[in-house]
Amino acid sequence: MPSTLDPELRRALAERVRYCHEMGFYDFYRREPRVLDVAEVESVAAEAVSPSSLLASSSILQPELREEMSARKSAVVRTIAEENVFETPKLEYAVSDSAAALKLIREDLGDCTRCKLHKGRTKIVFGVGDPHAELMFVGEGPGADEDAQGEPFVGRAGQLLNNMIKAMGLRREDVYIANVVKCRPPGNRTPEPDECDTCSPFLMRQIAAIKPKVVVALGATAAKNLLAMNSSLGELRGRFYDFKPAGARADSSWSGARLAVTYHPAYLLRDPRQKGEAWKDLQMVMKYLGIEPPKKAAE
């Protein structure tokens, strides 16, 4: 396989890998190309095998024929990319209503055992809120209270998030809230990369179904997984990013969301001095959405 793939083919392959992860397959093996020795080449030539199988030996094919085969190979790559043969239609593609789409995604998630996080969970924490919300909050993962109740952000950090939403002039019911992983990590540890990679395709599908105008990443884990960037939270805050979920189908009614990054409410509980900075992030979001804060909050 060439070292540099066509961008469309690369995206198609990435989507195929995500699909395999969703199906419970995580190990992939690469078969290295085998170089034919002289005897094998002569045997293949004697059997009049297709010239394409002899590309491993550059001395067999004339330059003109190699160029022709290369052109054909490029044409095949373009065809694969254009047709996107690796695209796996999602169940929710059959419906247009966001609530119905989310229900299908939840059913597809099922009683998930795709990664090791399922071993210690009490309940899967899928997401909650308005399926047609313009604003969506994405956290890291469920804690003990969330694991017990099956709803994101219901503990102390959740109460602070509710207050942050209220300060914006909104209600919890007006937004949608979800996490990168849907099962509680042991001891509330940070989700490991493989756990995030396994679970995030469902989050991406949720975002694509809701089609929010703005997504707010709460904390570094959410920000890094959504943006596929390894920068610090301080470097990521203070600006909008154009964001469209990986694997989302083309949709003329929704070109994607703006993504903002702020502190996780749990961090703000540990360091209340950063609440003012978080409020600046939310004010940026409010300005973009045209939301006027309540008079008390504005003061």
Residues 192 and 273 placed together within one structural domain of the fold: yes
Inter-CA distances, 267 with 59, 103, 193, 226, Å: 64, 31, 21, 19
28 token code pair: 């992939």
The set of residues, in sequence order, having a beta carbon less than 8 Å from that of 245 and lying 6+ positions away, is: 203, 204, 205, 207, 208
Query: Would you say residue 2 lies in a domain?
Result: no
pLDDT of residue 297: 53
Q: Of 34, 64, 83, which closes a domain?
A: 83
3-state helix/strand/coil string of 88-105: CCCHHHHCCCHHHHHHHH
Residues 137 and 232 placed together within one structural domain of the fold: yes
pLDDT of residue 251: 87
Residues 112 and 26 placed together within one structural domain of the fold: no
Q: Of 30, 51, 83, which closes a domain?
A: 83
Closest CA to 131 of 201, 199, 212: 212
Residues 31 and 130 placed together within one structural domain of the fold: no
Q: Of 18, 51, 83, which closes a domain?
A: 83
Residues 78 and 105 placed together within one structural domain of the fold: no
Query: Would you say residue 38 lies in a domain?
Result: yes
Q: Look-up: residue for tokens 């080449």?
A: 41
Residue 252, domain CATH: 3.40.470.10
Residues 123 and 203 placed together within one structural domain of the fold: yes
Range of the structural domain that residue 20 is part of? 7-83
- Amino acid at residue number 142: P
List Cβ<8 Å contacts ≥24 apart for 111-115. Answer: 112/182, 112/183, 112/199, 113/24, 114/21, 114/22, 114/24, 114/198, 114/199, 115/183, 115/194, 115/195, 115/198, 115/199
Residues 190 and 167 placed together within one structural domain of the fold: yes
Query: pLDDT (tens digit, 0 to 9) for every residue of the chain, 299 residues total?
Result: 444 556 567 666 766 766 666 665 655 555 555 555 556 555 545 554 444 443 444 344 455 544 544 444 343 333 333 334 345 678 899 999 999 999 999 999 999 999 999 999 999 999 999 999 999 999 999 999 999 999 999 999 999 999 999 999 999 999 999 999 999 999 999 999 999 999 999 999 999 999 999 999 999 999 999 999 999 999 999 999 999 998 888 888 899 999 999 999 999 999 999 999 999 999 999 999 999 988 765 44
3-state helix/strand/coil string of the chain: CCCCCCHHHHHHHHHHHHHHHHCCCCCCCCCCCCCCCHHHHHHHHHCCCCHHHHCCCCCCCCHHHHHHHHHHHHHHHHHHHHHCCCCCCCHHHHCCCHHHHHHHHHHHHCCCCCCHHHHHCCCCCCCEECCCCCEEEEECCCCHHHHHHCCCCCCHHHHHHHHHHHHCCCCHHHCEEEECCCCCCHHHCCCCHHHHHHHHHHHHHHHHHHCCCEEEEECHHHHHHHHCCCCCHHHHCCCCEEECCCCCCCCCCCCCEEEEEECCHHHHHHCHHHHHHHHHHHHHHHHHHCCCCCHHHHC
- Give the HSE-up count for residue 159: Cα atoms under 13 Å, Cβ half-sphere: 4
Residues 73 and 97 placed together within one structural domain of the fold: no
- Give the HSE-up count for residue 134: Cα atoms under 13 Å, Cβ half-sphere: 8
Residues 287 and 261 placed together within one structural domain of the fold: yes
Query: Would you say residue 1 lies in a domain?
Result: no
Cα–Cα distance measured from residue 18 to residue 29, given in angstroms and rounded to the nearest whole number: 16
* Number of domains observed in the structure of the chain: 2
The set of residues, in sequence order, having a beta carbon less than 8 Å from that of 143 and lying 6+ positions away, is: 155, 157, 184, 188, 266
